[in-house]
Amino acid sequence: MDWKDLNRTGVLHAYLVSPNNLDVIEGELLGIDWSTLKLTAAYYSDTRTSGSLSVVGDGWNHDEPHTPFVRIVYEIPEWNYVRELGTYIVRTDPQRIQQGAGITDLELQSMLYALSLEFPERRKALAPGSLVKTAMKSELNDAGLAFEISGANEYQITTLSVLENNQSRLARMFVLTGLSDNRLDVDGHGVIRPAAYVLPDNKTPTCRIELDDPRGIVKDGIKRTSDYLQQPSDAVVVYKWTETENGESVEHEITAHATVRPGDHASVDARGYRVTDFQSLNDLSPRTAQRAYNIAAENLKKASNTRTEWEISTKYMPLWEGDVVELVVPYGDRQYRGIRKCLVKNIELSGEFLDMNLTLKETSGGDEE
């Protein structure tokens, strides 16, 4: 599909979906003011996606036997293109009266958000030898939400782990995905999908966005931000502990210091002042100066990766948080020109034409999740 071809007619639908079966459409939500539509997706947010829209009249009625989910679907009929943008719970529905008409503002939240609202009453112990995917199935079955874990890594628990009852169901799922190097997400149909984590820099770009393309769909006005000037000159770690010696408590301390090489742009000679990345350690094993130095050096290395982001506005393209694209920058500062491999960090779709605002994070800067 040629997304640079703007001679297309897109159609938006909002369907009412059974909360007990995501495949059952109970009807279409009518009376929507599509100019109020806003859908957002954020790679580093816990619940990934949310939205809002306004309904004029009586199209939204929460007095039914149950409260349906709302699914936003975008179609381009002449292309036979259909995409489910998201399936949401309605978290709030305040109504206002204007010129004699009721206007209901719907707050849309993802199925992961629904998991954040539930706090299981009992702790759950994960014994050594138990499997993470089995534990994830148990958690999601108890939540009663649709899920698919075939793409998730398996992991065998090695030491006793406990899912606490003061944790939300979502927090417990993050514990399990953290143990097994999985990423928790939700698709447009509303299905929760834990899947093997892939470093953004290892992903294949899905498209190329060229800023000077005469047929391009990027609107004028692109913004770049970078932490190049904020990167540290050095890194310091400190570990303190107390031991009893001859009946008295004696405090001990190990410190370590790593610094950038001379001539580096973040060095004191180049910048005229020092910026320190400081960390106080809660544990150090083994308890040696070399181990402390290794941590300081690793902290400095991570902090020295330049984190660059681009903000652009475009017409609709089939992108979502977590996708990777190539951004071609032909002008501006020389060090930022060329083909920039970027993660779609944040995305906002708004209005009846689904205008897109994108925050693209260069994958070379690492991944803080």
**Average confidence (pLDDT) over 148-176:** 94
Domain ranges of the chain: 11-109, 115-196, 200-227+306-365, 229-303
For residue 147, the tally of other CB atoms under 10 A from its CB is: 19
Tell me the pLDDT tens digit for each residue of 11-42: 999 999 999 999 999 999 999 999 999 999 99
Average pLDDT over residues 118-126: 94
Per-residue confidence band for 369, with pLDDT thresholds at 50, 70 and 90: low
Give me the pLDDT at residue 94, please.
94
Fold of 11-109: Thrombin, subunit H (2.40.10)
| % pLDDT > 70, the chain | 99
Domain 115-196 matches domain 200-227+306-365 at the CATH topology level: no
Report residue 171's pLDDT band, with 50, 70 and 90 as the boundaries. very high
Tell me the pLDDT tens digit for each residue of 50-99.
Answer: 999 999 998 897 666 789 999 999 999 999 999 999 999 999 999 999 88
For residue 316, what are the β-bridge partners? none
Give, to the nearest 10 degrees, the angle between helix 132-143 and helix 169-180: 160
- pLDDT band for position 130 (cuts 50, 70, 90): very high
Task: Give the pLDDT confidence score for residue 63 in this predicted structure.
Answer: 67
Lowest pLDDT segment from 2-16, 36-50, 103-117, 131-145:
2-16
pLDDT at 66: 85
pLDDT tens digits along 292-335: 999 999 999 988 888 999 999 999 999 999 999 999 999 888 88
- pLDDT the model gives residue 98: 85
Residue 215, pLDDT score: 80
- Give me the chain's average pLDDT, please: 93
> Positive or negative CA dihedral for 30, 34, 36, 42?
positive
Q: What integer pLDDT is reported at residue 297 of this predicted model?
A: 96
**Multiple choice CATH, 115-196, 2.30.29, 1.10.10, 3.40.50, 3.55.50:** 3.55.50
- Predicted confidence at residue 220, as pLDDT, reads 79
Q: What is the pLDDT of residue 5?
A: 85
* Residue range 345-365: mean pLDDT, rounded: 95
Q: What pLDDT score was predicted for residue 82?
A: 97
Per-residue pLDDT of 221-254, as tens digits, reads 789 999 989 999 999 999 999 998 888 899 999 9
Write out pLDDT tens, residues 176-202. Answer: 999 999 999 999 999 999 999 999 999
Q: What CATH architecture does domain 200-227+306-365 belong to?
A: Beta Barrel (2.40)
